[in-house]
Amino acid sequence: MRTAILVVFAISVFLPAAFAGEYTEVVSTYDNDFYKIDTKNILIRTENCLEDVQAQEVLLSINGTAGEITFTETDNRCAVQAVLGTSGYRVGNYRVDITREEENWYKITDQDIYIRTEECLIYATEQEGLLSVSTVGKGGSGSLHFEGEACRVIGLYRPMEL
């Protein structure tokens, strides 16, 4: 029993540190509260971050999927809500339930997949739709159909750990 308690304690203390890390990357503003790592198809989702940058070096301090981004030129810091990589969806049609997260960003309910659209003005809360994936390179593209309308999809992303 004592050994089991020590093992649980050791895991709870040391395991989070195994997923922590600091990374130097070059990023550019992608969208409101989103930055793209210039050399990778990875997005950084921030919270109320007002830095407008192009090809600027940053320091990412990540623990799991969240953390902090520091813009080295200004030393401004912003909270990182998530690091997003490509979703892994294959070409095809998928019935999905969609919720609008913010302008041009939708989330597939129960899948933790984010859809980046272009000029899509449809407000949705767990509405059924059809996701048509036509290409999978650079995050994926295709169209999202619901409420009798179609929106252009320019990326499919999921949270990832660095």
- In this structure, are residues 50 and 74 in contact, taking their beta carbons and an 8 Å threshold? no
pLDDT of residue 74: 94
What are 14-73's pLDDT values in tens digits?
333 334 699 999 999 999 899 999 999 899 999 999 999 999 999 999 988 789 999 999
Report domain extents, the chain: 2-85, 92-159
What are 77-131's pLDDT values in tens digits?
999 999 999 988 899 999 999 999 988 999 999 888 999 999 898 888 888 999 9
Instruction: Quote the pTM value.
Output: 0.79
For residue 98, give every residue at least 6 positions away whose Cβ sits within 8 Å of its Cβ, in sequence order, or none: 106, 107, 108, 109, 115, 124, 126, 127, 128, 129, 144, 146
| pLDDT mean over 135-146 | 87
* Nearest partner of 132 among 121, 120, 146, 143, judged by Cα: 143
Give the mean pLDDT of the chain: 86
Residue with tokens 């339930």: 97
What are 112-122's pLDDT values in tens digits?
899 999 989 88
What is the C-alpha to C-alpha distance for residues 23 and 29, in angstroms, rounded to an integer?
18
